[in-house]
Every structure is written in C-alpha cells, then in structure tokens.
Amino acid sequence: MEEEKLIKKINELKKEKGAVILTHSYQRAEIYKVADFIGDSYELARKASQTEADLIVFCGVDFMAESAKILNPEKRVLIPTPKARCPMAAMISDGQLKELKEQHKDAAVVSYVNTRCSTKALSDICCTSSNAVEVVKSLPHKKIIFTPDRNLADYVRKSCNKKIIPWNGYCYVHDTFDASVLKSLKEKHPDAKTIVHPECRPEVVDLADYVCSTSQMLDVAREDDARQFLIGTEIGMIERLKIEVPDKEFISANEAPNICLQMKQNTLELTLKSLEEEKYEIKIDEDTLRKAKNALEGMLGLK
C-alpha cells in the first residue's frame, strides 16, 4: 500500500478505536505523520501518564511501551512489533542487580528508563537522559547504584557530588561515536555547535557544547544562534531536527549516521496491523508492575 493510503487508514482506525500513537524521535520519519505526540523518553512517559485514550500504540522500543503500561495498568498498550527491543535494557539481569544491592546496602538504586520492568521493580527511582542529574541530586543517599548505562552514569558522576556505582551497560548506537572523528569534524566545521546525547562516551561528551536528551536537542537547535550543528545521537533525531528546524544545518557527529536497528523495526504497515489486530499487547505481572510503578512515579513526581 502506498504511504498516503497507509496514513489515511491508520488515522481513520485510530479515531474509530479512540487510540493514541506515541512516537519516539528515533522512529522513521513517515511514522511521525501518524503520531499524536513525538518526544523523548521523559515526555513520552509523562504523556502516557496523562492520556485519556483507552488504547495506546507505542512506536518506540519495548521499555517505552512497558513504561506506558506501568503508568496505565488499566489501559491496553500495543507495540507494532516485538522485535523493537532495546539491547541496552537487556544488559543487566535481576540476579546481577540483586547482587550489587547486596554489596552496597547503603546505596539507592537509580535505573534509567531504558531497562526491563523487573529492573525498575528492583530500583528506588527511575530517570531519563533529561533528568538523570536532577533525580540523583534529589535523593538523600551519598551512594548511588546507577543502571544500566555506564556513560550516562559517568555524566551524572561529574555533575553531582556523590559516589556513583555504575553498571557496565552501554547503548551500541551512542557508544560508537568517536572523539577523534568528532575532533576532525569540528575542525572542518569551525562555526558549528556540537550537541551530544549523554549515552555517548565521556571523551565525546567532553567535546560537546551541549549534552542533551533528544527533545532538549530540539530546544537548543531553535534557541542557539549557530546555523550549523554536529549531532551526536541516532539518525532519526537528525531527520527530526531537519524537519522541525529547516533553516539550520544538522550533520552527524560521526563518519556515517548511527542507526538504532531496533527503533527502525516499526513501520507504517506494522502500525496499521497493530491497530487492526490489536497486537502486540504489553503484559506485565501485577507484582512487578506495582513495584516498577513506584520507581517510575517517583521520577515523574507523581508519588
């Protein structure tokens, strides 16, 4: 089916079923056209906690759809394909986190939303890239176990006066930005400002003018006077910046664009099928959901 027809069918069905489509910035640009809301992980979690729709289709990855379900246990949350699974979220097991908690009994556990629901259930509070420093600072604890991203943990460590015990996970999309490549790109584009995601390595973060979540990148691109930007995040965000800020130039801060293959598993065809057949529904057991809700609501200030 051609794109226009697919979009029309999705929009009709969405209306008929009273559904909303929440979409992360790393999705394919054509999915933006059927989205009710496009945002970063924090904004999407907040939107999910506020929506009145009974059916939520989440065009993103597993942990985002799970967060929407955790915040709306009585609603149905669908993800267009079960293949959209974040590899970083799978880098820490419950056993590993329990062992770490045992070793550091006086530490609070802060888990990035990019985790499985069982990891959230074992955590005191969640955070996203846009509020990680704020969340860690808000806790009375001097010692923090931070899971699963070692790079975000390092960024947090440098921004607050606490002992951070990082888990050694990483995002393969961001961890491959290279400081020497970025240095030569900065020499080639001396007037460009550099914006990177805190999932990038510390030596890449050190070269940036701004360290931001995906939506914060949009604000910087609009507000900063620079005409050209080097962007250290997934290609989808560069596409979104080009659409939303068309008078400025956005260049990948790497030799080739970095692609999250899991985010790109969602397509318009699968989104339509998801609405038609009402699959794949997110299911979480009651006990895990209740504990994970506590950690997520702590981050959203809902507790």
How far apart are CB 177 and ligand SF4 at their closest, in Å?
Answer: 12
Closest separation in Å from C-beta 61 to ligand SF4: 4
Nearer to ligand 13P, 88 or 145 (CB): 88
The residues of the shown chain that bind ligand SF4, judged by CB under 6 A, are: 61, 86-88, 114, 171-173, 234, 260, 262-263
Q: Which does 87 bind (CB under 5 to 8 A by kind): ligand 13P, ligand SF4, none?
A: ligand SF4
- The residue among 146 and 272 lying less far from ligand 13P, judged by its C-beta, is 146
Q: Which positions touch ligand 13P (CB under 6 A)?
A: 40-42, 86, 114, 128-130, 171, 197, 199, 213-214
Give Cβ neighbours of residue 15 (< 8 Å, ≥ 6 apart). Answer: none
Closest separation in Å from C-beta 76 to ligand SF4 = 23
User: Alpha-carbon torsion 149, 161, 207, 299, what sign?
Assistant: positive
Beta bridge partners of 39: 24
Task: Say if residues 193 and 210 touch (Cβ distance below 8 Å).
Answer: yes
Distance between CA atoms of residues 110 and 139, nearest Å: 10
Q: Which does 262 bind (CB under 5 to 8 A by kind): ligand 13P, ligand SF4, none?
A: ligand SF4
Among ligand 13P, ligand SF4, none, what binds residue 129 when CB lies within 5 to 8 Å by partner kind?
ligand 13P
- How are strands ordered across the β-sheet holding 19-24? 37-39, 19-24, 55-59, 76-78
Find residue 23's DSSP bridge partners.
38, 59
Q: How far is the CB of 169 from ligand 13P (least distance, A)?
A: 12
DSSP run (H or E) holding 211: strand 210-211
Smaller CB separation from ligand SF4, 86 or 207: 86
Residue placing its CB nearer to ligand SF4 in the complex, 44 or 107: 44
- Distance between CA 46 and CA 44 in Å, rounded? 5
